[in-house]
Structure 1
């Protein structure tokens, strides 16, 4: 299963045309997006497939998933521990025998690890967590392997390049991982191939 995760950088970043170009070039089985606004909701009508978005509580942007194949079940949301400003959720996608979690975690380095543990506790034994983890260093997530690309995925003004976008797996095998060109966002898309 080929999965791409990309933080679009809401209101100033990637637009639906950029997403369509990414899908056309890499043909993922699943595209997970963070910082997605309602402007992206026409994705399925524009280039086919299936799409589900959930806004963060009290925000215009949130998490979304697109696939050329129907989702096995409707996506679900999991409330996470609240940060100082933003209330966070996780988007859960159930497949036949495994679960994928789409995340945009808090910036606090202790809080985002607690959020990861909450997510891990509800996932099936075979699972993957992908997205913008806002995490520097080891995740300290028992049972999961960090299999995403090792190159920096985010470049912000005045900061060193950081590897914030991650993929953690449990009970699945990673066949390859690659950090793609950033395009219109300040985040690079992360491409991983997982054996189902």
Structure 2
């Protein structure tokens, strides 16, 4: 389940989610409400919802739900859009430092760099898999935060790329760890 509070900086991610035929999507313009909706989903299903927000104060609005998820042991994936590192902290409300914004209330945090040809697709897959595993397999389960940097232009652009690195078979070949389906809980290779 993807919970999206639309915004300019998160539009590449929101577009990708909305375009995926298997993605289940809940859209809400209020980040605080969306965070608590995702918390309820996680509490009732035992699986984390992925909460997608734009940058800056939009991210800060998730703090109450993150604290509740952390203290209640509810899995939650926070996918927050951000400017690239060189454009952060420039005295505007959408450029605040989002790294570690949730402090010790998350089980794991990663600041993913802006997409370039230097960032292999496997990096994204490994990071997503690690985040999911940290949300559900921590003792107790809880929220994790992936801060995703995006550079302009944010609108879709036509560019050559190979989907091969994103193939599950290609990604997991050569690894001793394989995604597992567990009873009552999705495996580390699956994202709701």
TM-score bin, normalised by smaller chain: 0.3 to 0.5
Q: Higher helix fraction: Structure 1 or Structure 2?
A: 2
Q: Higher strand fraction: Structure 1 or Structure 2?
A: 1
Q: TM-score, normalised by structure 1?
A: 0.36
Q: TM-score, normalised by structure 2?
A: 0.36
